[in-house]
């Protein structure tokens, strides 16, 4: 989709009307960007980050709530891993329709609607979460929390339209990193509630988000904008699905974002199961679980910034090399029973997954920008080539976001099966190591051997 008509003059566009709709948007025009574009883009980015942050918090609720499920709930560790996998799966499935929704409703309108949808899981949990509730009901409420996972795709597609190519890595990194901070935020809230009220009172963790959801939806309605002309020509999702880049980049995003969200959901439960003597209570586990997602979220904008400066493929390659080393460190620590080494390895994986999230996502618009440049060199109209590149990049953000989030499901399933089979996570850690090596090889073979692709 392409909200950027060919510029006919360098004069700034008029300010958006009260109905928050912008009919002319030219981020690649330096005069327009300096006079009008940068200010409007920053305002939309701010509210996009806030709304996405709340969405990630709601999506991640079950990474905290499983710590409150004591014996009175009758849920074993395998059942708890499944409760964290279900919202990840639903959120992944919703990312494709959420990407399309931006073009159908407009960025501002859909941000408001998707924020208000977060009231569904929070209301359900506020009413139903109590001892005696059936496991099936818990699975339904976990699935409802998946709506928070869809927000990421629509938010990224929307912000991608506001920024010029040279700033996309940083802008998308800030947008995603601010959203990712919702994971450690809800985990810190869970720690405070566990410490203050005890494991028998999970509802405050949920209910605190109800007024926040209403406030951010109101802020988005008042301060964000719809861009006109964003409905794409053709069927970009179907077109992009035929591109090899779609699946290569989605595979890489499984390795980065799948690791971040999968570890974020499962880490507290992993500590309780693998090191029960060191973590006899959920409070002890919760005191550490937020650290990794926090550092990974903060690292994501840095990954985007480094990709802007050094190239997304190069940063992603070295990130996967380091992630393979981190997974090896976790495997060794597990075999030796070393908790400090285990924690160090996982914190390293969180930080690196954040860096890789930023650099891998930067590769998406860069790949299609390079394709547009080659088409222009062959004589195609530059405006048409840029328009195609923009709508294909947005479509691939939706596909990669959906497929990448499935990595979080695979991680939780891997942990579930590993602990069920042998009481240890070592088979899962070995699988993670192998996946990072595969991603390393794909990055080199597809993108570094042909530097003109990014």
pLDDT at 230: 58
In sequence order, the 6+-apart residues with CB closer than 8 A to the CB of 126 are 203, 206, 207, 210
How many distinct structural domains can be found in the chain?
A: 1
Say which residue the tokens 């591109």 belong to.
Answer: 243
Q: How many beta carbons lie within 10 A of that of residue 14, not counting itself? A: 10
pLDDT per position in the chain (454 positions), as tens?
A: 444 444 444 444 444 444 578 888 989 899 999 999 999 999 999 999 999 999 999 999 999 999 899 899 999 988 999 999 999 999 999 988 998 888 889 999 999 999 999 999 999 999 999 999 999 999 999 999 999 999 988 998 899 889 987 888 788 888 988 998 999 999 999 989 988 888 888 999 999 999 999 999 999 999 999 987 656 555 777 888 787 888 899 999 999 999 999 999 899 889 988 998 888 888 888 888 889 999 999 998 899 889 888 888 999 999 999 999 999 999 999 999 999 999 999 999 999 999 999 899 888 888 888 888 888 888 878 878 777 887 788 788 888 888 888 899 999 899 999 998 888 899 999 999 999 999 999 999 999 886 555 5
- Rounded to whole angstroms, the Cα distance separating 293 from 180 reads 8
330, part of any domain:
yes
pTM above 0.85, yes or no: no
∠ CA 322-323-325, nearest 5°, is: 65
The pLDDT assigned to 57 comes to: 95
First to last CA, the chain: 20
| Residue 196 contacts residue 299 (beta carbons within 8 Å) | no
CA distances from 183 to 176, 212, 336, 390, 430 (A): 12, 15, 30, 30, 25
d(CA 22, CA 161): 12
The pair of three-digit structure tokens given for residue 26, joined into one six-digit string: 């030219």
Query: CA 251: distance to chain centroid?
Result: 15
Gyration radius of the chain over CA positions: 22
Tally the C-alpha atoms within 13 A of residue 191's C-alpha that lie toward its C-beta: 15
Q: What pLDDT is stored for residue 17 in this prediction?
A: 43
pLDDT at 285: 85
Residues 114/91, Cβ–Cβ less than 8 Å: no
Domain that holds residue 144: 35-448
**Which residues pair with residue 22 across a beta bridge?**
227
Residues 278 and 341 sit within 8 Å (Cβ to Cβ): no
Question: What CATH number is attached to the domain comprising 43?
Answer: 1.20.1250.20
Angle at 401 (CA atoms; ends 159, 165), nearest 5 degrees: 35
Write down the pLDDT at residue 16.
44
Q: Does any domain span residue 235?
A: yes
In this structure, is residue 1 part of a structural domain? no
Closest CA to 146 of 175, 124, 177, 164: 124
**Secondary structure string (H, E, C) spanning the chain:** CCCCCCCCCCCCCCCCCCCCEECCCCCCCHHHHHHHHHHHHHHHHHHHHHHHHHHHHHHCHHHHHHHHCCHHHCCCHHHHHHHHHHHHHHHHHHHHHHHHHHHHHCHHHHHHHHHHHCHHHHHHHHHHCCCCCCHHHHHHHHHHCCHHHHHHHHHHHHHHHHCCHHHHHHHHHHHHHHHHCHHHHHHHHHHHHHHHHCCCCCHHHHHCHHHHHHHHHHHHHHHCCEECCCCCCCCHHHHHHCCHHHHHHHHHHHHHHHHHHHHHHHHHHHHHHHCCCCCCCHHHHHHHHCHHHHHHHHHHHHHHHHHHHHCHHHHHHHHHHHHHHHHHHHHHHHHHCCHHHHHHHHHHHHHHHHHHHHHHHHHHHHHHHHHHHHHHHCCCCHHHHHHHHHHHHHHHHHHHHHHHHHHHHHHHHHHHHHHHHHCCCHHHHHHHHHHHHHHHHHHHHHHHCCHHHC
Residue with tokens 């990630």: 56
pLDDT for position 4:
45
Looking at residue 331, its pLDDT comes to 96
* 223 is a domain residue: yes
CA distances from 112 to 116, 224, 297, 424 (A): 6, 9, 24, 43
Whether 4 maps to a domain, the answer reads: no
Q: What is the pLDDT of residue 452?
A: 55
- The per-residue pLDDT for 282 is 83
- According to the model, what pLDDT value does residue 453 have? 54
Res 3: pLDDT: 47
Q: What is the pLDDT of residue 231?
A: 61
CA separation for the pair 183, 54 (Å, rounded)? 9
């Amino acid at each position: 989709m392409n909200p950027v008509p060919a510029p006919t003059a360098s004069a700034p566009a008029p300010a958006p009307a009260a109905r928050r709709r912008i009919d002319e948007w030219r981020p690649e025009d330096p005069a327009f960007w300096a006079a009008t574009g940068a200010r409007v883009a920053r305002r939309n980015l701010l509210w996009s980050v806030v709304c996405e942050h709340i969405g990630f918090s709601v999506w991640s609720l079950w990474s905290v709530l499983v710590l409150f499920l004591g014996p009175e709930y009758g849920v074993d560790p395998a059942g708890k891993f499944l409760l964290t996998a279900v919202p990840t799966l639903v959120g992944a499935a919703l990312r494709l329709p959420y990407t399309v929704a931006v073009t159908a409703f407009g960025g501002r309108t859909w941000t408001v609607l998707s924020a208000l949808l977060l009231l569904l899981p929070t209301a359900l949990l506020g009413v139903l979460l109590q001892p005696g509730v059936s496991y099936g009901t818990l699975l339904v409420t976990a699935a409802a929390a998946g709506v928070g996972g869809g927000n990421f795709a629509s938010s990224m597609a929307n912000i991608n339209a506001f920024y010029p190519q040279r700033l996309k890595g940083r802008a998308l990194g800030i947008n995603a990193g601010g959203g990712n901070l919702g994971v450690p935020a809800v985990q810190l809230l869970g720690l405070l509630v566990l410490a203050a009220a005890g494991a028998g009172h999970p509802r405050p963790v949920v209910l605190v988000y109800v007024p926040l959801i209403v406030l951010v939806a109101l802020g988005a309605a008042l301060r964000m904008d719809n861009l006109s002309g964003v409905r794409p020509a053709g069927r970009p999702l179907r077109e992009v699905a035929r591109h090899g880049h779609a699946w290569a980049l989605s595979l890489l995003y499984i390795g980065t974002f799948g690791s971040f969200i999968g570890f974020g959901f499962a880490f507290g439960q992993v500590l309780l199961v693998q090191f029960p003597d060191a973590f006899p209570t959920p409070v002890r586990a919760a005191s550490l679980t937020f650290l990794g997602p926090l550092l990974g979220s903060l690292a994501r904008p840095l990954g985007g910034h480094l990709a802007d400066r050094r190239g997304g493929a190069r940063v992603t390659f070295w990130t996967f090399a380091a992630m393979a080393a981190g997974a090896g460190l976790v495997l060794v620590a597990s075999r030796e029973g070393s908790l400090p080494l285990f924690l160090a390895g996982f914190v390293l994986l969180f930080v690196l997954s954040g860096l890789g999230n930023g650099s891998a996502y930067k590769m998406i618009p860069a790949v299609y920008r390079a394709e547009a440049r080659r088409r222009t060199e062959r004589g195609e109209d530059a405006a048409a080539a840029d328009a195609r590149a923009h709508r294909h990049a947005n479509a691939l953000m939706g596909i990669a976001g959906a497929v990448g989030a499935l990595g979080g499901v695979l991680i939780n399933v891997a942990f579930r099966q590993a602990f069920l089979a042998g009481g240890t996570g070592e088979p899962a850690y070995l699988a993670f190591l192998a996946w990072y090596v595969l991603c390393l090889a794909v990055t080199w073979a597809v993108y570094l051997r042909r530097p003109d692709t990014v």
